Amino acid sequence: MDLINLYLIPGVVLGCIYALGAVGLSLIYGVLRFGHFAHGDVMTFGAYVTLSAVALLGLSPFAALPIAMLVTALLAILIDRLFYRPFRDRPTIVVVIASFGVALMLRSLVEIFWGADDRSYETGIRRPVTYFDTLVIAPRHVAIIIAAVALVTVLHVFLTRTRLGKAMRAVSDQPSLARVCGIDLDTVSLWAWVFGGALAAAAGVFLATDTQLNPNMGWNLLLPLFAAAILGGIGKPYGAIVGGLVIGLAEELSSFPLFSERPLVPPDYKTGVAFAIMVVMLLWRPQGLFRGRVFE
């Protein structure tokens, strides 16, 4: 039962957080064809907006989530207008470097407004709830998993049922053909930022609920986020969701003491697991796990 309670469920929770972050990376890459290195810091920003909403309005972090998602989506649109769109016709590396700059600016803004210390949404300890005698789950884990599933469902409905969502997938698939069809890149990219920003905010809030707030929390997650996006085939949102779950589970399960009393991989090296998966994927299948279903 320890395997499930202490490794599998935290792995799924971490996987949900990675999935919500990675899906935004993947959407943005699919539409604008660049790796958004400020995505982790957008997550951090969303988490801190929730901190203020909790403090000022007395809401619970989950009740404040819609506010944080909205504010962060607006921030993402603003960042795109100010720092990325001017470089749209320039080589990709220019806008990638711009996103590094944005990452540093966002982190500094968070430190200026909220300080550099660790913070948390609530004080005190909540007891985990025991189900079926042996299954022990913290209520916050249940909430994170349910909320993540709900958000991914909303994204799925957008991508498969709305004209704009289908257009977003079409642009990811074949940008030149999408243009011939008269699909407006500006509108599609706006919605990629809305979803990318809002889902990053949710990921940030879930991470902060699970652990705590810190100005570096999102930046530190950038590697597993990219690993997840690459695992699923960058530019493919569904791949990024699966990739996020796989990376999250792999990181947590890698410290399970399988053969002895000692963890398989020391917990300090968790991020190394994500990195190893990313490197293996880039060498073995740079197009991602799911290319097999789709050929060009």
Partner 1 sequence: MTSLLAVEGLSAGYGDTVILHGVDIEAERGELAVIIGPNGAGKSTLIKAIFGIVATHGGRVRFDGADITGAAPERLVAMGMAYVPQERNVFPTLTVAENLEMGAFSVRGRLAPLIEAQYALFPELGRRRRQLVGEMSGGQRQMVALARALMTKPKLLLLDEPTAGLSPKVMAEVFGHIQAINRTGIGVLMVEQNARLALEIADRGYVLAAGRNRFSGTGADLLGNRQMAEAFLGG
Tell me if 163 contacts partner 1 by CB under 8 A. yes
Q: How many CB atoms lie within 10 A of CB 138?
A: 18
In the bound state with partner 1, the residue whose beta carbon lies nearer, of 107 and 169, is 169
Answer for which of 132, 259, 284, 295 binds partner 1 (CB under 8 A) is 295
Stretch that binds partner 1, among 82-90, 102-110, 195-203, 288-296 (CB under 8 A): 288-296
Tell me if 161 contacts partner 1 by CB under 8 A. no
Q: How many CB atoms lie within 10 A of CB 201?
A: 33
In the bound state with partner 1, the residue whose beta carbon lies nearer, of 259 and 295, is 295
E-assigned strand segments in 72-114: none
In the bound state with partner 1, the residue whose beta carbon lies nearer, of 58 and 292, is 292
Stretch 164-183: interaction string toward partner 1, x if CB under 8 A: --xx-xx-xxx-xxxxxxxx
Tell me if 285 contacts partner 1 by CB under 8 A. no
Contact 79, 38 (CB under 8 A): yes
Tell me if 293 contacts partner 1 by CB under 8 A. yes
Quickly tell me which residue has 């603003």 as its tokens. 78
Which residues contact residue 61 at a Cβ distance below 8 angstroms, ignoring those fewer than 6 apart? 50, 54, 121, 122, 205, 208, 209
- Which phi and psi (to 5°) does residue 129 adopt? -100, 140
* Residue spans of alpha helices (H) in 254-290: 270-284
In the bound state with partner 1, the residue whose beta carbon lies nearer, of 183 and 278, is 183
Instruction: Name the minimum Å distance from CB 229 to partner 1.
Output: 16
How far is it, in rounded angstroms, from Cα 145 to Cα 206?
Answer: 9
Maximal CA-CA distance, the chain? 61
Tell me if 157 contacts partner 1 by CB under 8 A. no
- Site residues (CB under 8 A) for partner 1? 163, 166-167, 169-170, 172-174, 176-183, 236, 293-296
